[in-house]
Amino acid sequence: MTNILDYDTVALDDAHSALVIIDQTRLPNELSILHLTTQEEIHDAIYLLKVRGAPAIGVAAAYGIYLAAKNIKTDNYKEFLAKFNEAKDYLASSRPTAVNLTWALERMKGIVEMNMVLGVERIKELLLDESRAIQQEDIDTCRQIGEYGLTLLKKGDGIITHCNAGQLATSKHGTATAPIYLGHERGYGFHVFCDETRPLLQGARLTAYELMSAGVDVTLMCDGMAASVMKKGLAQAVITGCDRVAANGDAANKIGTLPLAIAAKRFNVPFYICAPSSTIDLATRKGEDIVIEERKPEEVTEMWYRERMAPKNVKVFNPAFDVTDSDLITAIITERGILYPPYDKAIKNIM
């Protein structure tokens, strides 16, 4: 099997002014590397989930807005800023729920605004440096989340995952999979139960694929099977990533995470969220304030099937995320430490 971990999820080919990504919609059957050179291509890649996962989206956005800035042909700062902001707003519209997208874009905008006296060409150089720094920070962050997360696990534990919070969602190691990879390297002998994650099957297509590539013992299951696994005592932890954490600890993640947390509470299985601090949104007070992206009905009725698998014209509810209430979360694992309730105070302390 091709080891997907040997490839960069997101990279910059500055010489050819291209964002280089793995097309995750083609996995696991085809490893397709895309070289994106226009803002339309980058926007569509984020929207269509060719690149996905909050940290990877943030890195892609940073490189994407750098490439937009690189191609702005003016030495006039005001003109440059106006065109930069236009490109920033366009990329920000691709995935509204992923806070890392706007976080990275705003961070890059800060470079432009703080260095106006240096001139446009120097600003472009600083944007390149900042985009690379964002990616390196992502790598370091995931590694540290893995180290903290591993302290909560024991050798031989069964672990349930959902969606893909692995290397394919980040620059390296992943968030929720980082403790799994580090434990695997150190002989912990974990057994991972991987939710398929309907309707886009990120767990089946991506997490199961990359864990198998790394040699991790993994079993794929349908989303509705997780509670039975917990009831049988086969899982000692549930570990998921997230796309946004509100100031009170409520966490938005891929649809299907909330039922996992409810079942974990019922069967006394610890439920852990892995969240880079960049995913914590202090401006959002609670989970119900998070805007949930609704996606095309065809993802439920037709995608992955040779023929339609639902009655024609049936109404479809297809939210991309759900919100797990903070009282269902045992701990939030960040690169700055492990947070425990009350989360509003814990989050303030690390932020």
Task: Give the residue numbers marked as catalytic.
Answer: 243
- Please state, as a whole number, how many other Cβ atoms lie within 10 Å of the Cβ of residue 165: 33
CB atoms < 10 A from the CB of 112, how many? 22
Q: How many residues does the chain have?
A: 351
Query: What's the CA gap between 247 and 294, in Å, rounded?
Result: 23
Closest CA relative to residue 61, chosen from 16, 14, 94: 94
- CA-closest candidate to residue 162, choices 293, 300, 321: 321
Rounded to the nearest 5°, which phi and psi values hold at 190? -65, 150
- Asked if residues 62 and 107 have their Cβ atoms less than 8 Å apart, the reply is yes
d(CA 328, CA 264): 8
**First-residue to last-residue Cα distance in the chain:** 41
Are 193 and 178 in contact, with CB atoms under 8 Å apart?
Answer: no
Alpha-carbon gap, residue 146 to 176, rounded angstroms? 8
Task: Please enumerate in sequence order all residues whose Cβ is within 8 A of that of 28, keeping only pairs 6 or more positions apart, or say none.
Answer: 205, 206, 208, 209
